[in-house]
A and B are shown apart, each in its own frame.
Chain A
Amino acid sequence: MSAIDDDLKPLLHREPSSAEARLLRAALVYHPRKEAKRQLLRRLGLASWSVTVAIALVNALTKLGLRATVAKLISIWAGLVVALAVASAAGVYSIYTTTHHIDAAYVPKRAVPSASDYTRELGAVTALASAVAAQADELTGSRDDISDAGVSSNSAYAPPPSAKTTTTTTLKSITLTDEIEYLELIRTATATGQASRAQSLLAQYTKTFPQPRLAIEAKVLAIEAMLAAGNTLGAQRASAAFLQATPKHVLAGRVRAILASLDGPNADAGIP
């Protein structure tokens, strides 16, 4: 039994003075870059004061062994908010009925929609569905291609409704997750050798995301797509422009590596 236990014990803890353990201890030493972490938090929208304060509060209370207290505080706080909301709604309704002399027991009858209303709504829904399907085809091509490339169907990007029909709704409904998934689709296309598809998706990027939050990441993907398409000169120029514009960005190292691998005339041309 003890032999089995010993076998399950990591080498690091078996004989601390052995050469194996000394080597493995060296693997534990790591000094992360704080700036990279800050960049990630900003990129994911996790650097806001509300998130920071909430996390600090939870961590502090957890350290004090008050995790249960945190849960209670949250439930009490949530209860108070709900009670306040109900009370406010009741108050507003009460004032409204008083000032408008409305009998609280009166329930207005719903207007019954006519056949023409249904027809009109059906037409609008059909038009919207066509627009969405057209954009989906344009953005993702055939689903079969994606499956062939090894991407599962649930990870395929589902584009937001057409900008022509619902511009306001589209802007509101686009989330960071949508954008991340879209970029992942581009990355996958490049990685699986579908460079033209990646470039086509990139061409649609600014149209699909009019207020991009990951524009810099998209630029790097564009460089990689150009490279995959054999457009070495374009990739060199775009890399140089990227490094001049954002020399300290966390992705600058990746772009420098691309530029260095090209061995072109611009590789040593004073690019930062």
Chain B
Amino acid sequence: MNFLHALRLRQMVDLHWSSLGRALRNFGVADADLDDALQQAYVVAATKVDAIELGKERAFLLGTCVHVAARLRRAKGRAREIADYDLDAIASDAVPADVQLDAERAREDLARILDALGPELREVFVLYEIEELTMAVIASALDVPPGTVASRLRRAREEFRVLVAKRGRHK
């Protein structure tokens, strides 16, 4: 890695470290594995820094995070757990009506809802709704057609709304 590549990579770390950590957590990576996952994502970026297009660093890193999260999920055998997730558990574990929703509780609820979406819908939903990437950039980052991104986003939104409403009814 030459000096200019090192500078570019360092800037990628400084600028995107926080948002990648947040994205990985929203992709379902456990808190204990976040630092390790972040390192894996940047190690991949270090090997391909000369191939990353200028101005598309964040999209590249987020796309890498999707793969890292998927690999961790496979390693931990959690895919089946997510598929079999009991949606009623979200509602039954919801906050009582007289308790104000605090940020921590909201985060836990959101994590459960995102788990319930399943990996494919979750990835697109997080990248669009939380990381605010455009559909074209998501399609490029995930290496899927733009139409697929649009349909996954539509389905993810529908399921998200249903789950949020279900949670609200039990409050």
Cβ of B11 within 8 Å of any chain A Cβ, yes or no, is yes
In the complex, A243 Cα to B168 Cα: how many Å? Answer: 45
Interface size class for chain A? 35 or more
**Other than the known A28-B130, A44-B43, A51-B3, what 11 A-B pairs have Cβ atoms closer than 8 Å?**
A22-B101, A23-B110, A26-B106, A32-B18, A37-B17, A44-B13, A50-B3, A55-B14, A177-B47, A250-B36, A251-B36
Q: How far is the CB of A243 from chain B (nearest CB, A)?
A: 14
Query: Binary interface profile of A, 237-264, with partner B (CB < 8 Å = 1, else 0)?
Result: 0000000000000110110110000000
Query: In the bound complex, do residue A43 and residue B39 qualify as a contact, i.e. CB atoms below 8 Å apart?
Result: yes
User: Which of chain A's residues have a CB closer than 8 A to the CB of B13?
Assistant: 37, 40-41, 44, 46
In the complex, A18 Cα to B22 Cα: how many Å? Answer: 22
In the complex, A30 Cα to B17 Cα: how many Å? Answer: 11
Partner pick for B113 among A23, A39, A44, A257, CB 8 A cutoff: A23
Q: How far is the CB of B60 from chain A (nearest CB, A)?
A: 16
User: Which of chain A's residues have a CB closer than 8 A to the CB of B73?
Assistant: none
Q: Residues on A close to B: CB < 8 A? A: 10-12, 19-20, 22-30, 32-33, 36-37, 39-41, 43-46, 50-52, 54-55, 58-59, 175-177, 180-181, 184, 191, 250-251, 253-254, 256-257
Q: Which of A23, A41, A52 lies at the interface centre, i.e. has the most chain B CB atoms within 10 A of its CB?
A: A23
Question: Which chain B residues in 38-78 approach chain A with CB under 8 Å?
Answer: 38-39, 42-43, 46-47, 71, 74-75
User: Which of chain B's residues have a CB closer than 8 A to the CB of A177?
Assistant: 1, 46-47
List 7 A-B pairs, minimum CB-CB distance, nearest first. Answer: A26-B106, A30-B22, A36-B35, A26-B107, A46-B10, A253-B32, A250-B35
Query: In the bound complex, do residue A20 and residue B39 qualify as a contact, i.e. CB atoms below 8 Å apart?
Result: no
In the complex, A58 Cα to B6 Cα: how many Å? Answer: 14
User: Which of chain A's residues have a CB closer than 8 A to the CB of B26?
Assistant: 27
Cβ of B85 within 8 Å of any chain A Cβ, yes or no, is no
Question: Which chain B residues in 120-144 approach chain A with CB under 8 Å?
Answer: 126, 128-130, 132
Q: How far is the CB of B152 from chain A (nearest CB, A)?
A: 15
Partner pick for A12 among B11, B22, B129, CB 8 A cutoff: B129
CB closest chain-B residue, reference A155: B47
In the complex, A94 Cα to B101 Cα: how many Å? Answer: 80
Q: How far is the CB of B23 from chain A (nearest CB, A)?
A: 9
In the complex, A20 Cα to B43 Cα: how many Å? Answer: 35
User: Which of chain A's residues have a CB closer than 8 A to the CB of B146?
Assistant: none
Query: In the bound complex, do residue B10 and residue A29 qualify as a contact, i.e. CB atoms below 8 Å apart?
Result: no
